Structure formats: structure tokens, C-alpha cells
Amino acid sequence: DAKTTQPPSMDCAEGRAANLPCNHSTISGNEYVYWYRQIHSQGPQYIIHGLKNNETNEMASLIITEDRKSSTLILPHATLRDTAVYYCIVRGVYGNKLVFGAGTILRVKS
């Protein structure tokens, strides 16, 4: 699976959009981009995933660049409860493990 690079930490003001970047320059054609988050001392929570098209659900939007070498997770109106570690994971379609990197610590501040 391709490796991902994320900033170690980011701050965001409450009510503003949080844009979390992820680089995955070695991604191959059949690899998906997954996003999970982990609020302190809880289990990881699935957020969203995508292959090449942008995706949106009730939690977030995922924007994948046309060359697929990077992506951005957007939380449109961040709240204090969105403070968490956000993991960007690239994994293949068939039988690939979920390998967590260090992630980005997002701190939402009032």
C-alpha cells in the first residue's frame, strides 16, 4: 500500500471549515483513500473513503486531486467535538490491511 504523509497537527476555529491535507504520491490505480478519526481514548471512527471522485457524506467531504497524489478531508463547520487524531490511509481493493500512520492532531478552538 502507498505511504501517506500528513501534518502532525493543525488548529481550527470553531464554526470554520477544517481542511486536513494528505499526500499519497505513490498511490496506484486500484488504491482507495480512507479517512478515520480517533477521539481521545475512543475507538477509531470511519469518516469517508474514495477512489478518484470527490465524495461527500453527512460527516465530511473528500477532495482527491486529479492525479490522485493528494487529498483533502473537509469538515465544513468544525465543532469542539471534532478535536481528534485524523488518519489518512491508502489501501488496495483486495485483501489489504488497514495500516495507520501517525495521523494529524486537529484541535478545534473556541
Partner 1 sequence: DTEVTQTPKHLVMGMTNKKSLKCEQHMGHRAMYWYKQKAKKPPELMFVYSYEKLSINESVPSRFSPECPNSSLLNLHLHALQPEDSALYLCASSQEGLQETQYFGPGTRLLVL
Task: Note whether 50 and 102 are within 8 A (CB).
Answer: no
Question: By C-beta, is 80 or 102 nearer to partner 1?
Answer: 102
- The region of 6-14, 19-27, 39-47, 53-61 touching partner 1 under the rule CB under 8 A is 39-47
Quickly tell me which residue has 463547520 as its cell: 77
Question: By C-beta, is 4 or 70 nearer to partner 1?
Answer: 4
- Taking the C-alpha atoms of 54, 56, 59 and 61 in order, what is their torsion angle to the nearest 10 degrees? 30
Is 79 a binding residue for partner 1 by CB under 8 A? The answer is no
Task: List the grid coordinates of 98.
Answer: 488497514
- The region of 11-19, 21-29, 44-52, 53-61 touching partner 1 under the rule CB under 8 A is 44-52
